[in-house]
Amino acid sequence: MSPGELKEYLAAQERKSFLRFLTCGSVDDGKSTLIGRLLYDTKLIFEDQLKTLEKDSKKHGTTGDDIDFALLLDGLESEREQGITIDVAYRFFSTSKRKFIVADTPGHEQYTRNMATGASTADLAVILVDARKGVLTQTRRHAFICSLLRIRHVILAINKIDLAHYSQDIFESIDHEFRDFADKLGFASIVSIPLSARFGDNVINQSLSMPWYSGPTLLAHLESIDVSTDLEAMSFRMPVQWVNRPNLDFRGFAGTIASGRIAPGDRVVVANSGRLSTVARIVTQNGDLREAGAGDAVTLTLDDEVDVSRGDMLAAAGERPDVSDQFAAHIIWMSEEELLPGRQYLIKIGARSVPATITELKHKIDVNSLEHFAAKTLQLNEVGYCNLSASVPIAFDRYASNRHTGSFIVIDRFTNGTVGAGMIEFGLRRATNVHWQALDINKQVRASQKGQKPVMLWFTGLSGSGKSTIANIVEKKLNLSGRHTYLLDGDNVRHGLNRDLGFTDADRVENIRRVAETAKLFVDAGLIVLVSFISPFRSERRTARELVQQGEFLEVYVDTPLEVCMSRDPKGLYKRAQAGEIKNFTGLDSPYEPPEAAEIHVNTVDLSPEAAADAIIEKLRAENLIA
């Protein structure tokens, strides 16, 4: 091939359209086999790969003397040994008409989160159904998640039709059942294809065994379907990933354009602040551009000095996105640990991570019937519709309008692991109607009037550890020295403010959230507030700490071994819990997470309540919180 021919060939490859699709469905529907067959029949397997595949087929395969095409995708040894797909496998391939990236996703319910990951960037879904089994629960689950993630086009691949005697009646029955279910999901197109991944029927070539089928083959439809969303025609959006400041003379904002187009001279707005500016240059490693569009990674410089940081979003001046600290969203839960409303998580949208709380789980969704059910928590792989409250306003679009700027992930603040994926429906109107009211009398004035420094003393420990007894003594000692105090006790608060709450993990989280917000008000009033609650979870204690300023929160760990608490059992609660009369009892059938770095640590095995109280008073003096 001459240099000219090579240049023309590369240019032709660049001009090809691009399609991202995934395969999904229930277990053993043949997803990996189908992709392997597609790669094999399009002659995209190298000779050495074919030899390895033939060797592996004899060792791990499930197709007798035939090639097991699934092994091309199932790369993990555990996948090959079990004959299942566990993780998402991505493959690139190209035909004369189009370039493709295909994601092979797991079929097992426990790996639904992996499937959702693969679906998040796909334009089309190939949903496989075993012709012998028909539409199963996992088929419906995957179809629903595809719809939720705004995949608009579906191919229903009715596989293993050879094992159903190439029956037209079976094909049509499955097709009708799926369409009846999917009619509620709003797909733009559904094309049903009867095929055999193992033998290649209707994968690339039309099957001679099904003269009754006159539709396209799988590859023909993949090559011809129009899935363009025309991102460049949408409003300009660019999340700022990095502020590029190599020297004093250059300040640029780097990121990948999520949608729209931009050119020097265009007016842009910093979404959160509303500050307007004009694009001066579009800088790339290969020189400045006259124009850039969706998918381009660029650095923009602006005509004037505006405050832009990592995580901000630049948008078209006349088409600013929504900005709110509260919004409604669908969430796919991806963690073994249940979602707990009231607990603080991190959400990452674009390049910005902010603390946020699921304030209300409005309902969860049954994937079989699409009905909505009341729920207090979400378990692994469940889908719920929630209200969220972020610590600061964030910029976003509705997910239905822009998948790139309307999606987020939920992160556990302690493990830093991704526990959920969210799709924003809309900002909550009340978020823009409620503003802080300026008050002339503030915390400093109130505390100064009382001649003290406000502080939150947070007593935590197992039931029977002596928290309330010690907190009561500490308050009396402070009161005698002229300090202004208030004691919030776990039992007392449950007679009023929290009388509607039970003792599930979700209720415990909400219990502490309300108490922490109340205690914050007492600190704002200039008081020394003592909070005596089991508060079993570190996450909620951390949230309480972050409600007040640094130095205004002291965690008091009343450390008493479980067996000592059980022997004391002042209220007879342990005895009742062991008899099964009390469920979700902390320390027995509900966990307690002890503090890792409490400011004050008292052991009531070694110290009497009076001595423990004296130790706490001394610590307050040492911290200059009291004289």
Tokens of 286: 């290969």
Give the phi and the psi of residue 90 in degrees, each rounded to 5: -105, 140
Nearest to 314 by CA among 287, 275, 340: 275
Q: Is 229 helix (H, G, I), strand (E, B) or coil?
A: coil
Q: What count of residues does the chain have?
A: 627
Contact 282, 256 (CB under 8 A): no
Sheet holding 553-559, edge to edge: 485-489, 528-532, 455-460, 553-559, 600-603
User: 292: which strand partners?
Assistant: 262
Give the phi and the psi of residue 346 in degrees, each rounded to 5: -105, 140
HSE toward the beta carbon, residue 314, CA cutoff 13 A: 31
Q: DSSP code of 236? A: P
Residue positions annotated with a catalytic role: 535
Angle at CA 387, nearest 5°, toward 386 and 391? 130
Q: Is 226 helix (H, G, I), strand (E, B) or coil?
A: coil
Give CA–CA dist 412/410, Å, rounded: 7
**Dihedral sign of CA atoms 377, 423, 389, 362 in order:** negative
Contact 518, 497 (CB under 8 A): yes
Query: How many other CB atoms are found less than 10 A from the CB of residue 407?
Result: 21
Distance of CA 6 to the CA centre of its chain: 44
Which segments of 452-537 does DSSP mark as H helices, in order?
467-480, 490-493, 505-524
Angle at CA 581, nearest 5°, toward 575 and 584? 90
| Helix axes 168-182 and 137-148, enclosed angle (nearest 10) | 50
Residue type present at position 17: S
User: 395: which strand partners?
Assistant: 323
Residue position matching structure tokens 């099964």 = 580
Q: Is 192 helix (H, G, I), strand (E, B) or coil?
A: strand
Strands, E, within 32-188: which ranges?
A: 89-94, 98-104, 124-130, 153-159
Give the phi and the psi of residue 496 in degrees, each rounded to 5: -135, -90
**DSSP per residue over 284-335, as a string?**
-TT---S-EETT-EEEEEESS-----TT-EEEETTSPPEEEEEEEEEEEE--
Give CA–CA dist 356/394, Å, rounded: 11
| Helix axes 467-480 and 609-622, enclosed angle (nearest 10) | 60
Give the phi and the psi of residue 13 in degrees, each rounded to 5: -65, -35
Q: DSSP code of 338? A: P
